[in-house]
Amino acid sequence: MNINTSISNADGENFGGYLAVPESGLGPGIVVLQEIFGINDFLKTTADAIANHGYVALVPDLFWRIEEGISLSYSDEDMARAFELYGLFDPERAVVDIQGALDTMRSLPQHEGATQEGSHSKVGCVGFCLGGLLAWLTATRTDVDCSVSYYGVGIENFLSEASQVAGPAILHIAEEDGFVPPEAQQQLTAMATEHDLVTAYTYPGCDHAFATPGRDSYNADATKISVERSLAMFEKVLKG
């Protein structure tokens, strides 16, 4: 079941999101964090695939402060618009909205544990590109239970927050990523080596957005491996 839903943050602000629910109608929760293209077909397809694995997936509209309901393709025209939106985006405020999405997820009747009064029902997150950075900030600044970052851009600027990671976190790094240069990749892998809860995987020969079908950089083999690694962690943390 796929529906649009409403999310509330701690400031009492309301914004939209896309919700995908498994056939059973119940499951652990995963918040899916967008690229710079809004809640487009890729994000919805990703949420649907997560639901097919037995999870409730919620994609918050993190561009709502700029414009609600953004959904862009990967055409040159939409790419230009996406970077324009990125320039207006405030990641600090987005973290407030992501915590709101986590809280909303925990209150959904479809989410396992939501009816257990006073309990902390577990929720994970996964993000791509901009969402990959936000997945890292979610790991360091919110009460998320586990996180997965796909080719997050700019994480190296927030490595000082690594000590605040309280749950398992995965970083999927594309070796040929033009947005995450080799020096930044080295910083990420070095940090992960020293952090018990953070695991960094590098995908040789892969470019940015290797996990997005239809894009020139898509790599089916790397995507398959990264999805298996991500699901194994979600299974352990959220279902274990």
Active site residues: 177, 208
DSSP, res 142: S
What distance in Å separates the CA atoms of residue 167 and residue 147, rounded to the nearest whole number?
8
Contacts of 190 (CB under 8 A, 6+ apart): none
The separation between the first and the last C-alpha atoms of the chain, rounded to the nearest angstrom, is: 24
What is each CA distance from 78 to 55, 72, 82, 199, in whole angstroms? 31, 6, 6, 33
Type of residue found at 146? C
DSSP, res 154: S
Q: Which of 101, 30, 27, 29 is closest to 64 using CA atoms? A: 101
Contacts of 202 (CB under 8 A, 6+ apart): 173, 174, 175, 185, 189
Give all strands (DSSP E) within the chain, no chain letters. Answer: 2-8, 14-20, 29-33, 56-60, 123-128, 146-150, 169-174, 198-203
